Amino acid sequence: MTILKDYTYKKIFQSEKQLPDNTLYEYNINVPHIFVEKSSCSIIAGIDKTIDQIKSYFSENNMEYELVEVGSKGLCEYDPVVSIQVPGRAIISLKNIYSNIVDSVLDSILNNILPERELIIGQYSHPELNSWSEITEISDIPFFKKQTRRLLKDIGNIDVNSIKSYLDYGGYKSFGKILTTHTHSEVCDIIEQSELRGRGGGGFYTGLKWKNTLNNNAEKKYFICNADESDPGSFAGRMLIEGNPHLLIEGILIGTYAINANEAIIYIRNTFDLAIKRLKNAIKQAEISGLAGEDIFGSGINIHLSVFASPGAYVCGEETALISSLEGHRGMPSPKPPYPSEYGLFGYPTVVNNVETLCNIPYIIKEGPEKFKELGSQNSYGTKLFSVSGKVDFTGMVEMEMGQTPNDILDITKLQNNPGDVKAIHIGGPSGGFIHPDDFNMNIDFDTFNNNNMWFGSGSFLVLDEENCIVDVTKYYIDFINNESCGKCIPCREGSQRLLEILTRITERPRTNKQHETLLRFKGVTQMEEVSKLMKETSLCGLGQNAPNSIISGLKYFRQEYEEHIYEKRCDAVICRNLKEYSINVDNCVGCSICSKRCPSDAVIGSQRTAHFIIQERCIKCGICESVCKFNAIIVR
Amino acid sequence: MEFNIKINNNNVKVTKGETILSVLKRIGIAIPTLCNMPELTPTGACRLCVVELENNHTLVTACSSPVSEGMKILTHSQKVISARKTIAELLLTNHPENCLYCDKSGNCELQQLAENLNIRERTFVGEKNMSKSDRSSPGIVRDMSKCILCGRCVRICEEMLQISAIDLVNRGKNSNIETVFQRGLFYSNCIHCGFCITACPTGAILEKTNIPQIVEKLNYSDKSINIIISGSTIASLATYFNVKRYEDARNYLVAALHDVGFKNVMTLSLGNDIFVHEISSIILERLNNHNEPLIISDCPSVKKYIKTELPEFQKYLPKVPTPQQILGKILKFDNDPQNDILVSVASCVAHKYEAIQSNNTQKGVPDIDYVITTKELLKLLKTHGIILPYSKKETPDKPSNSDSSGGVLLETKGGISEAIIRELYLKSGINNNTKKIPELKSDKQFIEYEFALGNKKYTIASINNVDTLRCKQHEILNNKYLFVEVRACNFGCIYGCGHIQCNDVENYKKLKKNILEFDEKTNSDTAGKNPFIKGYYKEKGIERLF
Amino acid sequence: MQNYIDSLKEHIEKRELLSILQNFQNKFGYIDLNFIEQLSKRINVPAGKIYGIASFYNQFRFKPKGRHHIKICSGAACHIKTKDNLTSEIYKILNLKNKETSSDGKFSIEFIPCMGACALGPIIAVNDRYFMNVSLNDFKIIISNLD
């Protein structure tokens, strides 16, 4: 215990040497080092089996080795990713290492032979080590090269289970610095000067929030980190924690010190098993190292860290709802004012910050606010993480300078960015909206987005192509809101229900062709606009106010698609299948039974050589019968 | 701190900390509210009280926003009105449109809202909430399809009573107000006080009506159907029909009910008198050695509350039934129980719950067959075209023709204590019985009162609202009081949920005045002077019945 | 269950309610009425209130899980990659009738907002074993291998 404390003390206060950026571990090793990128994504891809196989490989061959668990560098497409360092040679990074190829890959690498080219991502060269010939540098790969990796810098290099590793890369230096040389309000000043804005969506100035809380006198204050990232399709915060838990903890420690609080709580989804495990482990290590707990390094400062595994509700991302949930109530938002900075958790002044925001703090303290502001655009400085998913070649987490454009992100994540093959981008999750290709050169920063009534929120970036239907994606998000609304205020609860019904109505074939039903479908668009306006103006919290963004932007840019659905009952992406009805023309059907055999849902019945029949209740509208019929017997309506 | 703000372009002086809504109320600008109740914390749920603030792109709720300097408020701009209208339309879309058959019709806040906002056509079409209704309680029906989730019932049950028999459950489109595991009120810790009925703005929570059964009996049964009316019911109807004097209203009502078809019309004050007589005998017995607390209540809700929430208090409750059940037992089982049907008109739905309890039946025959509330009685009167003043007056039938005014007083707040103290004076032979005790009639929920009996001084306490009982339980256990009077309703039975305009404090004050005036001018003002009681106990040769 | 309640420490603050419920569910699989009533007496919070709080959150179940528990990622990326009305078909295949658990207790279903593997969607986990890029046919095969 004392050893770790001494180590920490030396690293932080006595400027011991630190590892250069973009290296994996020490270069001078005696046994093979295997770095496995274990993240929530790679677990699903099967990294655990890969690890087991690696372990048994070495034990069967009676060889010494070192296995280091690191976080994902963000290229989820390549999972499971394993990097290998043989003594004397540069580290080589390999992709898609499933357990069945572990043995052959290790066999060749340990014998200094490269495995198949398809498995290689790249290498990390080092002046003291022999590079592999004809292998690209990891930092030269376009996916990484075009990013500005400030928060993600060390992810993939740091051993996630070891505080030593974080310290080796210069970790906790910022916290050590403020602890010895800065007062509470000086820290707030620095953050205020950096003009850092909340990355959770609202974009409130973090320094200002802290200062307000610091200036509210109370016997107790709370610092809360909101890690309840539950936008569907947003995983950046979770991957940050998984890849570098100590970075977040350092940010929290600085923030807690800045507002002069003694208690910090990390509010995180219970389903984020790996992130919770790593966070808890990191907190324990920080406590053992003397970085958290009572009287931190003799400063007289006490900071207690705890993790709260939230039972899960999207609305708890809203700070008042989060606080209510922490108090043990239903997580329902309450009206503001009073703001949490005056009256927060248990009535005490409270700061709530998002994971990504806090991970920026150590950098700002270390390098100073001016350096932080070197990146970014007017009023939006620094970088922003995006969780890119959908129709791209590289699904994953990217870090971009503020003020870059959707085109820049597509450039990184698509192999060939042909204009036109992306139909739209949905940015910002359920609270966000669509961007039309015409606007792909629009700057992603707070001002531009605010002026355009847009919201990039926690940075989910969903790429859609011609096979996706705007109405369907909108319906998906509204359905999400309808389920996740807390149910308290009428505009959000009833409004989202009506919006969902209207959307469902226009994506389905009307049951009858009666005038009344047709009229309802036609009226849908105007009603959606009316309800959207109401929700924006009168909802209690941000969830309801931003919920109609998908509809508003969809109607603005893709109105034609809505009209096709409503008037022509046509969905070009063939997603809204319920617009169609399949039946068999008995005159044309010869009873060849091909459709019956190919039908995935057994909806076509009939005996050989007699006309077949489609059972509508079973039909899933896949269209296979139409494509296989050689006699034009399938009628599509 | 005072400063000026602008409301609809007029300067208004306000104090820091006030909400916009309270300022608007003060200066007489009406805006619609739905989830707001003055006694409860504002939640900002219904969003109907939104107003427009200059330089603010969203609208803010007046109920929850405090005023701040430099505010410029528009309360009825086009933007605000259309927002309110759309909200109301959304609510109506998810509401069964069967107002004609709804008990709340004419008295419904949602209906009023739709009228005020001039909603005269269906805008949206969509699925309606088809939640099942909870009919498990004998007194309360919750028809959740009519619920607009304003949360008033939840908050009143939680904040005023700390019972939370019902709470919001689930989330989003599945939000609902339910008891634990949807089991129904009867199986929950509900005390059937009916506060939620008074809180509900729509017809989602109503009392369970017994009128159809009574009408059927009146039409087809050859048994004699008798009715007991409580003092608060008489006062309530007197106020409703603007009859000045209590005794006039009572006598009109007796005559009217005879004409409706009830054979004997009796008043509950006889039961009250017997209750007071019994209790005061118990107190006298233990006057010199009251080493245990004594809790006196004629309120079934309090009894249920003690049973479920404070079971250690149960032994301090004397075994005397409530006045309604006392009357039931005496009137029915002194004669042949099969011959009579006994209907009681009560001030709240808790009495409906009480009447079906097994200890209130004998050999499967209930003491009281049906309990209806004042509201229900009014409906019965209306169907018979009866308005007060009625064409004739009749006095109540035997044996309740000689009730004391002390018995009527029991319906008011602090009335039990006052009636008992009078009786104690009488029984101790102290000629102090005309003394009125105004201290007990204040609107506070906890009152301590000290009085002298002989040369000794005694303290009693009067508690209203069960949560006050919970808060004061340690004082009670300290055995400080000769007895403690407890009732669930904040202002006694005259504030019960069964009354017409039950949640109106002004109305309650009228009822109180009506009864106090009656008590003021009557001489036979304590139970012991009631000739029936004297005779009854002598005839039976006993001191106490229970 | 009684043991669990007895094992709770003497003084419990209301803020600990959620973690007590979580621990109970981890141990017993779901939260039942009996437990809520016992807990209500123990910590002096009305049973109705506890139920109201628990039902707000995704995590808590009030019915036992099926023998086979199926988790489906309902993230946006999985949604746009899902074909053939997969989710509604799953309900039909498992005979769930829009409920969480099938009436024979064989299957239960749970939706996870995002499992964090958007590259590999649609993702389905059966008894905590993950399946990637699942199509309707894949799912039928997975299910047919379960007893």
CA B352/CA B192 separation, integer angstroms: 9
- Write the DSSP string, A542-608: HHHHHTTHHHHHHHHH-HHHHHHHHHS---TTS--GGG--EEE-TTT-----HHHHH-TT--EE--T
Of the residues A464, A482, A504, the one at which a domain ends: A464
CA A383/CA A402 separation, integer angstroms: 5
Burial letters A355-385, b for 16+ CB under 10 A, else e: bbbbbbbbbbbeeebeebeebbbebbbbbbb
Q: What is the CATH number of the domain that holds A436?
A: 3.10.20.600
CA A555/CA A550 separation, integer angstroms: 8
Same domain (yes/no): A420, A451:
yes
Same domain (yes/no): A217, A257:
yes
Confidence of residue A633 (pLDDT cuts 50, 70, 90): confident
Choose, out of A479, A489, A545, the residue to mutate when testing the contact with B (most B CBs < 10 Å): A489
Same domain (yes/no): A137, A183:
no
Phi-psi region of B39 (alpha: psi -120 to 50; beta: other; left: phi over 0): alpha
Residues 6+ apart with CB under 8 A from B318: B278, B279, B282, B294, B296, B546
pLDDT at A24 over 60: no
Same domain (yes/no): A355, A232:
yes
Mean pLDDT rounded to a whole number for chain B = 91
The mean pLDDT of B398-407, rounded to a whole number, is 83
Which has the higher per-residue pLDDT, A385 or A454? A385
Choose, out of A44, A77, A460, A477, the residue to mutate when testing the contact with C (most C CBs < 10 Å): A44
pLDDT at B330 over 90: no
**CATH code reported for the domain at C68-144:** 3.40.30.10
pLDDT digits 0-9 by tens, B151-205? 999 999 999 999 999 999 999 889 999 999 999 999 999 999 999 999 999 999 9
Confidence of residue B33 (pLDDT cuts 50, 70, 90): very high
C80/A464 touch (CB, cutoff 8 Å), yes or no: yes
B183/C33 touch (CB, cutoff 8 Å), yes or no: yes
Assess contact for A594 and A585: CB atoms under 8 A: no
Other Cβ atoms within 10 Å of A623 Cβ, number:
14
Q: Quote the percentage of chain A above a pLDDT of 70.
A: 97
Confidence of residue A23 (pLDDT cuts 50, 70, 90): low
Residues 6+ apart with CB under 8 A from B267: B228, B229, B230, B231, B234, B250, B396, B400, B403, B407, B408
- Write the DSSP string, B407-430: HHHTTSTTHHHHHHHHHHHHHTT-
B63: nearest Cα among B32, B88, B91:
B32
B178 in contact with C at a CB cutoff of 8 Å?
A: yes
C58/A311 touch (CB, cutoff 8 Å), yes or no: yes
Please state, in angstroms and as integers, the Cα–Cα distance from residue A163 to each residue in A10, A40, A257, B346, following that order.
13, 21, 20, 72
Q: Domains plus CATH for chain B?
A: 2-76 (3.10.20.740), 92-207 (3.30.70.20), 213-540 (3.40.50.1780)
Which has the higher per-residue pLDDT, A201 or A203? A203
Same domain (yes/no): A231, A95:
no
A-chain residue closest to C138, CA distance:
A600
Of the residues A567, A591, A607, the one at which a domain ends: A567
Please provide residue B336's backbone torsions phi and psi, each rounded to the nearest 5 degrees. -85, 115
Give C124's strand partners. C72, C131
Residue type, A322: L
Q: Tell whether A5 is covered by a domain.
A: no
Confidence of residue C92 (pLDDT cuts 50, 70, 90): confident
The mean pLDDT of B46-53, rounded to a whole number, is 94
Give A354's strand partners. A226
Q: Tell whether A156 is covered by a domain.
A: no
The count of residues in chain A is: 637
Q: What is the CATH number of the domain that holds A549?
A: 1.20.1440.230
Question: How much is the pLDDT for A272?
Answer: 92
Domain boundaries, chain C: 2-56, 68-144
Q: Which residues of B touch A520 (CB under 8 A)?
A: 125
CA A44/CA C117 separation, integer angstroms: 7
Same domain (yes/no): A389, A368:
no
Q: Tell whether A574 is covered by a domain.
A: no
CA A239/CA A42 separation, integer angstroms: 11
Confidence of residue B61 (pLDDT cuts 50, 70, 90): very high
Same domain (yes/no): A171, A129:
no
CA A552/CA B61 separation, integer angstroms: 24
Dihedral in degrees, nearest 10, Cα atoms B175, B178, B180, B184: -150
Same domain (yes/no): A273, A347:
yes
CA B264/CA B255 separation, integer angstroms: 10
Phi-psi region of B359 (alpha: psi -120 to 50; beta: other; left: phi over 0): alpha
Q: What total number of domains does chain A contain?
A: 5
Same domain (yes/no): A300, A419:
no
For residue A436, what are the domain limits? 376-464
Other Cβ atoms within 10 Å of B168 Cβ, number:
25
Phi-psi region of B70 (alpha: psi -120 to 50; beta: other; left: phi over 0): left
Please state, in angstroms and as integers, the Cα–Cα distance from residue B169 to each residue in B99, B175, C55, following that order.
26, 6, 6
For C115, which of A40, A326, A460 is closest by C-beta distance? Answer: A40
Tokens representing residue B447 in the block = 């009152």
For A488, which of B45, B124, B173 is closest by C-beta distance? Answer: B45
Same domain (yes/no): A356, A406:
no
B79: nearest Cα among B58, B97, B100:
B58
pLDDT at B399 over 90: no
**B132 DSSP assignment:** P
B469: nearest Cα among B458, B484, B482, B457:
B484
Give A84's strand partners. A34, A92
Please provide residue A587's backbone torsions phi and psi, each rounded to the nearest 5 degrees. -70, -35
C118 in contact with A at a CB cutoff of 8 Å?
A: yes
Work out whether strand B50-53 and strand A613-614 pair parallel, antiparallel, or are unpaired: unpaired
Q: Tell whether A312 is covered by a domain.
A: yes
C132 in contact with A at a CB cutoff of 8 Å?
A: yes
Q: What is the pTM of this model?
A: 0.92
Question: How much is the pLDDT for A552?
Answer: 94
Those of residues 43-62 in C touching chain B at CB distance below 8 A are 46-53, 55-56, 62
CA B46/CA A494 separation, integer angstroms: 11
pLDDT digits 0-9 by tens, A559-587? 999 999 988 888 888 788 788 778 888 88
Q: Which residue has the tokens 């007991």?
A: B228
- Write the DSSP string, B450-464: EEEETTEEEEEEEEE
pLDDT digits 0-9 by tens, A317-375? 999 999 999 999 999 999 988 899 999 999 999 999 999 999 999 999 999 999 999 99
B171/C55 touch (CB, cutoff 8 Å), yes or no: yes
Residue type, A368: G
Same domain (yes/no): A408, A262:
no
pLDDT digits 0-9 by tens, A180-194? 899 999 999 999 999
C-chain residue closest to A345, CA distance:
C15
Q: What is the CATH number of the domain that holds A233?
A: 3.40.50.11540
Of the residues A340, A372, A404, the one at which a domain ends: A372
* Secondary structure element (H or E) that encloses residue A503, with its range: helix A490-506
